Amino acid sequence: MLTTLQITDTLLAIIWTMLRVSGMVLIAPLLGAVFVPARLRIMIGLILAVAMLPVAGELPTFSPLSALGLYTIAQELIIGFSIGFILKLAVEAAVFAGQVISMGMGLSFATVVDPQQGGTPLLGRFYIIIATLLLLTANAHLALIHIVAESFSLVPIGSGGIGAPEARQIVEFASLMFVGAMQLALPAVVAILMVNVSFGVISRAAPTLNLFAVGFPITLMTGFLVMIMATRNHAMVWDAQFAAAFSAIGQLLGGG
C-alpha cells in the first residue's frame, strides 16, 4: 500500500515532467492547434508526462514554490516551448508560401478567419492542410515526442535550461521558414510572372484591351494549374523542412 509520502513524490515527479511536455504540447504543430480542445491538450500532456517518468532522470529535491523552484519551472516551460516552436517555424512556411502566391494570383483579399493567427490567406490554409497531412505521414509528431523524451537526458531537469546562445539559434533557424516558403511558392510565382510579362507585351500592342477582365481569369487559372502540378513535389520540401527542424532541436539541446 502506498504511503502519503510516496504519493506526494509521485505527484511531484509527474508535475516536474509535465512542465516540459506541456510547453511542447501548447505550441507544437497539430498538438497545439487551436481546434484541439484545452482539456484534450491537458490530457495529452498528462499522459506523455506519466509515460516519460522512467526517462526523466533525477528530479529536483527542492520545492517548486521556492525561488529556485519557480526559476526551474520557467526554464522547463521554455525548453518545451523552444522544442515545439522550432517545428512550428518549419510548418509556418506553408502560410508564407500561400501569402506570396495569393498576392500574385490576385487572391490576397481571400482570407480565412483563424482564431490562432487572425486572417490567414486561403491558399495558406490549403498549404497548411498539406503540411499537416505530410507531418502525420512522416511520423514527425512521434519523432517530436521522442526528442522530448531524450531531452531529459541531454538537459536534465534543474540543470539551467536554455540560455542566450540557444535562443539565438532559434532566431537564426527562422530563416528556414523563408527558404521553405520560397521552395513551395517558386513554381507558381514564376508561372504567374511569365503570364504578367506576356500581358505587358499585349498591352503595348493593344492598349485598348481590358487586361483586368482578361488577365485575372487567366492568371487565376494558371496559378491553380501550377499549384496542382507542384503539389506532387511538396513531400520533398517538407522532408527537408522536418529534417532541418529536428537537427536544430538536437543542436539546441546539445545533442548534435
Q: Check residue 114 and give its pLDDT.
A: 53
Q: Check residue 111 and give its pLDDT.
A: 56
Q: Check residue 212 and give its pLDDT.
A: 67
pLDDT classification of 108: cutoffs 50, 70, 90: low
Instruction: Show the cell assigned to 183.
Output: 521552395
pLDDT classification of 120: cutoffs 50, 70, 90: low
CB 211 within 8 A of CB 203: yes
- What is the C-alpha to C-alpha distance for residues 167 and 190, in angstroms, rounded to an integer? 35
What distances in angstroms separate CA 119 from CA 91, 198, 237, one per listed residue? 17, 32, 25
- Region of 66 on the Ramachandran plot (φ > 0 left; ψ -120 to 50 alpha; else beta): beta
Residue % of the chain over a pLDDT of 90: 0
Could you tell me where the DSSP H helices lie in 106-206?
122-137, 140-154, 164-173, 175-205
- What is the C-alpha to C-alpha distance for residues 52 and 58, in angstroms, rounded to an integer? 12
Helix or strand run (H / E) with residue 251: helix 234-252
- What is the C-alpha to C-alpha distance for residues 239 and 235, in angstroms, rounded to an integer? 6
Q: Per-residue pLDDT tens for 142-180?
A: 888 888 888 888 888 877 777 777 778 888 888 888 888
Mean pLDDT of 104-125: 62
Q: Check residue 1 and give its pLDDT.
A: 59
- Enumerate residues 6+ apart whose C-beta is below 8 A from 25: 31, 32, 41, 44, 45, 48, 80, 84
- What is the C-alpha to C-alpha distance for residues 23 and 79, in angstroms, rounded to an integer? 7
Among 31-40, 113-122, 238-247, name the one with the lowest average pLDDT.
Answer: 113-122
Strand partners, 114: 118
Q: Per-residue pLDDT tens for 203-225?
A: 777 777 666 667 777 877 887 88
Q: Per-residue pLDDT tens for 22-77?
A: 888 888 887 777 777 788 888 888 888 888 888 888 888 877 788 888 888 888 88
pTM of the model: 0.80
Q: Is the pLDDT of residue 113 over 80?
A: no
Strand partners, 111: 121
Mean pLDDT of 117-140: 78
- Enumerate residues 6+ apart whose C-beta is below 8 A from 91: 29, 128, 131, 132, 135, 241
Residue % of the chain over a pLDDT of 70: 89
Q: Check residue 254 and give its pLDDT.
A: 76
- Give me the half-sphere count of Cα atoms (radius 13 Å) on the Cβ side of residue 248: 28
Q: Is the pLDDT of residue 115 over 70?
A: no
Q: What are phi and psi of 199, to 5 degrees?
A: -70, -30
Mean pLDDT of 2-17: 79
